[in-house]
Every structure is written in C-alpha cells, then in structure tokens.
Chains A and B, each alone.
Chain A
Amino acid sequence: MMLKVEGLSAGYGNITILRDLSFQAQAGEVTCIMGRNGAGKSTLMKAIMGLVPASAGTITLNGKAVQSLPAHKVPMEGIAYVPQGRRLFGPLTVAENIEVGLLARKKGAKTRDFVLDLFPRLRERLDQVSSTLSGGEQQMLAIARALCLEPQVLLLDEPTEGLQPSMIQLIRDTVLSLRKTGMATVLVEQRVDAVLKMSDRVCFMAHGRVEAEVATGDLGPQSSLFRQFVGV
C-alpha cells in the first residue's frame, strides 16, 4: 500500500511552484518532508489533496489515480489532511469539528470514540467553541478531525509548530502509535531530532522538487543533507 507521486507539477494560477516532483510514502512508515521556508512543502500537501491543481504528473493511491479527482473526492479515497496552522472550523464546537471529519467517509460512533480515546482532553471539551481551545488542544483537534476519516494516508503539515515541549511530545507519541496501525504518514517537520527519531524516510525539498530521498537509518545528526536543505 502506498501513495506515489510522480513527475508532479503544480502551482497557483500562472505561477508554477512544484516542478517534476516525485516521492513515495509506504504503509506503516513515516515519511518526512524537509526543506526551507518557501520550498513548497505545504503546496505539495495541497496538491495531493487536489486543492492546488496538478498541471502534470500523477498521484496514485494503491495504483488508483487521484490527481484528476475533484478535491472533495480525494479525502473519500482515504487521504486525510492536517493543514499547517491547523485551520479548524473556529466558530464550530469541538464536537462539530469532529462531526465534519466523520462525514467524508461516513464513519460513526466507533471512529468517534477511537479518536476521543486518543485525545481525552477533547472529550472533556466537546461543547467548547474550537477557536477558544489552547494551541495544543487545537492541534489535537486538527489531528482528531483528520483521523475521523480512518485514513490510509495521513498528511501532517508542521503539526508541532508553535507548541510547548510536553505537547510536542504528545503529538509525536500519537504519530508513532499511528504508524503501528499501518497508516502511511507524510510529515512536514523542520526539527532534525524529531525527524531522526520518528521517520523511516526523509525527502529533502528545494525549489519545488524532492532533491534527495534517504532512509533515515543512513542519516546522522551531523549529516550534510540537513545543512544543505534545512540550513542547520
């Protein structure tokens, strides 16, 4: 089972951001995407979701092409998205955000219980308006909302951005426990220690392309790739 992106070009209007980009994400693995600000990481996530139209290339899930589907059909195939900056439905309550997540693949009470067991703090706040949650709680809700699809592929765009260490740890533990369930996770992450601890493969992006794709085992904290592509 895998998500496979081949020769993808995509952008906004006349501006091309992604150029001939290829990478794969395998089931039961965490694939990290690294790259400097503006390298096109978020654009890649949006292109996979069909939110940014692909002008060339293919995106396949288990061999099925998804790049030509209308955007709202992509999640139905089992690809779930945690956007950068969370993008919750702010005026809606926690319960309502979860409900929207359940709609896409017609999941019910079982799925809802599963995600709320994963984040008990959300269960205590079901009727709270989501924009009033703390940053960490909002991130939990963004992940919970995506998990409501029971996805095969989970796209996480900088889920620990702006969070305190204990919350970062909780999000990382969650990602690692999801890997065990056989989900394919694509994680945009900027911190080298997190990438080394969590991922199976790392894709380094620059100028809208994946310039290097490496097994995490072959990387060390001092690897020159980090310096070259992330600048640390």
Chain B
Amino acid sequence: MAFGPFLFLALLEGTVMAAVLALTAIGLSLVFGVMRVVNVAHGEFFMLGAVTAWFVTHYLPFPPAIGWLAALLIAPLVVGAIAWLADVFVLKRLKYDPEATIVATIGLLYILQQTALTFYGPDARPVEPPFNLRLQFPWFGYSGYKLFVVLAAGLILLGVWAFMTRTKAGLVMRATQVDMETARAFGINVDRVYAGTFALGAALAAAAAVLIVPIQQAHYLMGHDPLLLSFIVVIIGGLGSLRGTLVAALIIGLSDGVISMFFSPTLAKIIATLLVALVLVFRPQGLFGAKT
C-alpha cells in the first residue's frame, strides 16, 4: 500500500482508539475531579461491561443487533449499580480519604477480576457486532462498525457534556467538585452525589467496553490496558479536567494508531509513557489542569 492510504488507515484506527479511550478516561476523570478518588478499579468496570455484554448477547434470544443494543443499555446499568454499592459499602466508610481509597480500589480490582474469572471463566469470548458492513475505500476495505463506534462514542460524550453543563444534576456535581462543604450548606446531599458520580464513571467505562467488545472479545483480564491508558490520558489532560481528558485521548489515540501501524505497538506505549513523564516534569498539572 502507498504511504498516503496507509497513513489514512492508521489515522482511522487511531480515531477508533481515541473515541473509546476518551469515553473510558472521562469516567476516571469525572470520579477523580468530583470525589478526589483515584479509582484503580476503573479498568475492571470496563471489563465487567464487556463481560456483561457477552452474557446479555449470549443468553437473551435476540438477533445480534437487538442483543447488542440491549447490552449497551444493560451493561452500564449493571456496572453502575455495582459501583454504587462499592461506593456506599467501601469508599464512604473510608470517608473518601485519598490514600485509603487507592488501597481499597486496588482490593476492589482483584475482587472484581476474580469474580469474573469464577463466573465467566478464563476464555476470551466474542460478541457479534450489531451489523456487518464493509466500507470500500479505493485502497482498502474498512469495518463500518468501527466508524459507528466513533460516532456512538462521540454521541455519548456529547451527552455527558450536556448533562454536566445543562442539567441540575450536572450543576450539583460541579458545585460539589469545587467545595463539598459549601455544597452541603446549600442543601446538596454530597453522599448521593458521590455515589452517583462513581456509578456514572463506571457506567461510562462499561459503555466504552460494549462498543469495543465486538472488535476485541471479552476477557477477564482485559481491564489492564484501558486502566493504564486512561491514567495516561487523565494525567496528560490534567486531573479532573474533562476538556483536557478529551484532548489527551485524541493525542494518545491517534499517535498510538499511527505509531503502532508504522512501527510497533510497543513503541507506541513507550512513547505514551514518555509523554506522561515529560508532562509530569514540565507541566505537572497537565495540559488543561489548574495549578494548585
């Protein structure tokens, strides 16, 4: 293939990656921004989303398209509910202490992972894509579903943005993020905001996983990569900055796509990690983070 089309293909792959990564990382960023909790179990919520999607499409007697749509609704709800419980029974009891919650979410990571291993098993299992459409470019064919993933992720992100800026619940979350004591003095039930934020963050990771699972297969260890990449994105973008998270996801996703295709996936990860190191040294608050 000539250089031009090859670059085009790499950019396409990078865009798909960026879209899913943005969706996953925005959940992590939201949780850190509002609650000051570093959720090490975030990747496991992603994994649970994919595994739930497999259960839903496998056991519900629907054609692939309906089954997948059902999964896109059910998986975020199920995973959000699990996160809600984890908040109420674990994080709240630790009074959201920043250090204690890191340790607790590491514990949560292993609990969720081993639970998935027990009930789902060690195999990677495919989920049927909702439709099979091949787009024929002059130089190569490309999965129509992958482009649909970009569109769907974009729409969900737009929904998150509208929720945060246009709704009362979003306003309450932003006020709590700024100053939870004053938020309380204005009638905001901070406990409920925290539980809701943790659930929303997990639900977004689950939605990202449902989008990706027809491409990647569901596996109980699949949470590692999204966790690492989400952390990279959130650190580069600036902890708690949603705009920064989006921009960083685009940078990391595109560069990963291009470098993986032209050189190797390992080099892509090395460069992403180097980028984090550079940001931490020269701009520790991230590209869009506020100085503290």
Contacts and interface: CB of A to CB of B under 8 A. Distances in A.
B182 interface: yes
Contact of B187 (A51, A72, A89): A72
A75 B187 contact: yes
Interface in A46-91: 49-51, 70-76, 81, 83, 87, 89-91
Interface stretch (A97-105, A117-125, A172-180): A97-105
A126 to B, nearest CB: 14
A75 B184 CA distance: 9
A213 interface: no
Contacts of A81: 185
B185 A49 contact: yes
Contacts of A71: 184-185
Main secondary structure of the interface of B (DSSP, over half): helix
Contact of B186 (A70, A91, A101): A101
B168 A51 contact: no
A151 to B, nearest CB: 11
A74 B182 CA distance: 12
A105 B188 CA distance: 11
B178 A72 contact: no
Interface size class of A (residues with CB under 8 A): 20 to 34
B169 to A, nearest CB: 11
A112 to B, nearest CB: 14
B123 interface: no
Interface string A93-135: 0001001110111000000000000000000000000000000
Interface size class of B (residues with CB under 8 A): 10 to 19
Interface in B80-131: none
A75 B189 CA distance: 11
A209 interface: no
A72 B184 contact: yes
Given A72-B184, A72-B187, A104-B187, A99 B171 contact: yes
Contacts of B178: 89-92
B190 interface: yes
Interface in B167-189: 168, 171-172, 174-175, 178-179, 181-189
A145 interface: yes
A89 B174 contact: yes
Given A99-B171, A100-B172, A103-B168, A89 B189 contact: no
Interface string B182-221: 1111111110000000000000000000000000000000
Contacts of A49: 184-185
A83 B181 CA distance: 10
B187 A103 contact: yes
A165 to B, nearest CB: 28
B171 A72 contact: no
Contacts of A96: 171, 174-175
B171 A100 contact: yes
Contacts of A104: 186-188
Contacts of A72: 184, 187-190
A89 B182 contact: yes
A55 B186 CA distance: 23
Contacts of A90: 178
Contacts of A76: 187
Contacts of A91: 174, 178
A149 B184 CA distance: 14
A83 B184 contact: no
A89 B175 contact: yes
A149 B188 CA distance: 13
A83 B182 contact: yes
Nearest to B181: A51
B175 A100 contact: yes
A124 B181 CA distance: 28
A92 B175 contact: yes
A122 to B, nearest CB: 17
Contact of A89 (B168, B179, B190): B179
A73 B184 CA distance: 8
A72 B186 CA distance: 7
A101 to B, nearest CB: 6
Interface of B: 168, 171-172, 174-175, 178-179, 181-190
- Please give me the 7 A-B residue pairs with the lowest Cβ-Cβ distance, nearest first: A104-B187, A71-B184, A75-B187, A89-B178, A87-B182, A81-B185, A72-B189
19 contacts: A51-B184, A72-B184, A72-B189, A87-B179, A89-B174, A89-B175, A89-B178, A89-B179, A89-B182, A89-B183, A91-B178, A92-B178, A96-B175, A99-B168, A103-B186, A103-B188, A104-B187, A149-B186, A149-B187
Given A76-B187, A100-B183, 10 more contacts: A72-B187, A75-B187, A89-B183, A96-B171, A100-B172, A100-B175, A100-B188, A103-B168, A149-B186, A149-B187
